Amino acid sequence: MKIHIDIDCFFASAARIKDPSLIGKPMAIGGRSDTKIFNKEAKKQTVSFENSGSFVPTFYKAYEKSDDDLDAFKDERGKIRGILTTSSYEARAYGIKTAMSIKEALGLCPHLIIKAPNMSLYQKLSHELHEFLASKIPLVEQASIDEFYGDLSGWIEDDEIEQFIDNLRHEIKRVLKLPVSIGAASTRYIAKLATTAAKPFGCKTIYPYELNSFIENIPVGEFPGIGKSMKKKLYSVHIHTLGDLKRRRGTVESWSPYAKELYKRVCGLTDAPIQTTHQRKSIGISRTFDPLHDRAELKRRVHVLARHLSFAILKMDVIPTVFHLSIAYEMNQKSHKNISLAEIFTEKKFDSLCITLFNEADTQRRLHIIRLSINCSSFTRDSKKELSLIGFNDEEKMKKLTNSTQKMREKYGLDALKWGSEL
């Protein structure tokens, strides 16, 4: 059988390990796009390629004790900004939810304790749990910073699964002080649903003969792989629960190959293997800020984002061949531009490329911009693209300069060397 392990309210649980006085109190972890990245003075900036995703950025500001309160989320005018990345179960009792604005959350619970994020601590605890699980289970896959899958086939007998996962969650709590919930089933997809049913700090095992009754009343939106568009399509034909979906095989399978595969997943008829390692397919950086119209300042910010992303790409030792820049304007307007380029990666060329993409993507020049995003993908190791030989010798010289710059930044910090256009 497969198991799914999920850390309960991970960021909040991590804060409680560091400060036990928070246990039992309504608390939440705030999050705010680090616009200080654009400040002209140096600041502590950290990069991590592990488990980035929702609320787990690749680039983040190093944790400082002075940030550990509500003041970290106040702007220059004293206005509270930001959203919640997670909240404790005590806070959820007041109706507080993930992605809710901090201001709204404080309106529901004035005595809510808001803590600043500590990404270094989260990465450390996540790594420790991964190592612990690897010592207990033959195959472990890390799906995100707080989610893991394990394969117990041939390791633990089915009739011993319930006792095994119950012992495992208590041992994790005792050794690492992390509360986890664990679900077990014949496939990873059903195991994840079982974990949701087991929360908080619980276990649930779904045997094949229990599958139909278990999924009967689960809303379709809770199944991994059913997004907004698929959910809308299912609702349009009066399929609201997984039980409804299972009974409408012909309808669902007629839509697309993906829908056909989705039906099999819901019914526990197909599964995906546990992958112990994942290769990153892309990397990007984005920032949201107050509406800004000054194009000179916006281009300066593109330079800053390009420098940070270049540092990460060089640290990964990859050569991207697809570059994408997107702009979000006020009034919900968006624009983007991308280009394919199979050449040696250098910071100078990448910086110029990002400015070119910005100029071409900025089609609504009367509007203020609220977000800039740059993404690089299709690494040569995956795409098997051959690098262009045009100007190869000159590019090699520039590559040496880029490597020297990289070494200085790794030794003295990301802000040790900046482009003059940033100042």
We report the CATH number of the domain holding residue 62 as 3.40.1170.60
**Full DSSP string of 52-86:** -BTTB-SEEEPP-GGGSSGGGGB-TTS-B--EEEE
Q: How far is CA 273 from CA 1, 195, 364, in A?
A: 12, 18, 46
We report the CATH number of the domain holding residue 354 as 3.30.1490.100
Q: How many domains does the chain contain in total?
A: 2
| Any domain includes 348 | yes
- Quote the CA–CA distance of 119 and 327 in Å, as a whole number: 27
- Quote the CA–CA distance of 191 and 214 in Å, as a whole number: 11
| Any domain includes 68 | yes
Query: What pLDDT score was predicted for residue 411?
Result: 73
CA-based radius of gyration for the chain:
24
Query: What pLDDT score was predicted for residue 395?
Result: 65
Query: What pLDDT score was predicted for residue 66?
Result: 46
Residue of 363, 297, 357 lying closest to 335 (CA atoms) = 363
DSSP state of 209: G
Query: What pLDDT score was predicted for residue 408?
Result: 76
| Any domain includes 187 | no
Q: Which of 119, 135, 165 finishes a domain?
A: 119
Q: How far is CA 258 from CA 118, 225, 252, 262, in A?
A: 38, 10, 10, 6
| Any domain includes 396 | yes
Give the predicted TM-score (pTM) of the model: 0.77
Contact criterion met (CB below 8 Å) for 162 and 203: yes
Residue of 296, 293, 286, 287 lying closest to 364 (CA atoms) = 293
The partner residues of 121 in beta bridges, in order of sequence, read: none
Phi, psi angles (nearest 5°) of residue 385:
-75, 145
| Any domain includes 209 | no
Neighbour-count burial of 391, counting CB atoms closer than 10 A to its CB (0-12 exposed, 13-18 middle, 19+ buried):
exposed
Q: Which of 57, 86, 119 finishes a domain?
A: 119
Residues whose CB is less than 8 angstroms from the CB of residue 42 and which lie 6 or more positions away in sequence, other chains included: 413, 415, 416
- End-to-end Cα distance, the chain: 57
- Quote the CA–CA distance of 350 and 375 in Å, as a whole number: 12
The boundaries of the domain holding residue 76 are 10-119
Residue of 204, 202, 206 lying closest to 187 (CA atoms) = 206
Question: CB under 8 Å, gap of 24 or more: what pairs does 291-295 form?
Answer: 291/330, 291/368, 291/369, 291/370, 292/368, 292/369, 292/370, 293/367, 293/368, 293/369, 295/362, 295/365
Residues whose CB is less than 8 angstroms from the CB of residue 369 and which lie 6 or more positions away in sequence, other chains included: 291, 292, 293, 298, 327, 328, 329, 330, 362
Query: What pLDDT score was predicted for residue 42?
Result: 52
**Full DSSP string of 300-345:** HHHHHHHHHHHHHHHHHT----EEEEEEEEGGG-EEEEEEE--S--
| Any domain includes 304 | yes
- Quote the CA–CA distance of 164 and 404 in Å, as a whole number: 52
Helix (H, G, I), strand (E, B) or coil at 87: strand
Pair type for strands 83-87 and 369-377: unpaired
Query: What pLDDT score was predicted for residue 280?
Result: 78
Query: What pLDDT score was predicted for residue 391?
Result: 56
| Any domain includes 264 | no
What is the chain's pLDDT, residue by residue, as a tens digit (423 residues)? 999 999 999 999 999 999 999 999 999 998 766 666 777 665 566 666 566 555 555 655 655 554 456 776 776 677 777 889 899 999 999 999 988 999 899 999 999 999 988 888 888 999 999 999 999 998 999 998 999 999 998 888 999 999 999 999 999 999 999 999 999 999 999 999 999 999 999 999 999 999 999 999 999 999 988 999 999 999 999 999 999 999 999 999 999 999 999 999 999 999 998 888 777 788 888 888 889 999 999 999 999 999 989 988 988 888 899 999 999 999 899 999 999 988 888 888 999 999 999 999 999 999 999 999 999 998 886 555 565 555 556 666 667 777 777 777 777 767 777 767 776
Q: Which of 119, 135, 150 finishes a domain?
A: 119
Side chain identity at 317, as an amino acid letter?
D
Q: Which two tokens stand for residue 280?
A: 């990153």
**Full DSSP string of 367-389:** S-EEEEEEEEE--HHHH-PPPP-
| Any domain includes 156 | no
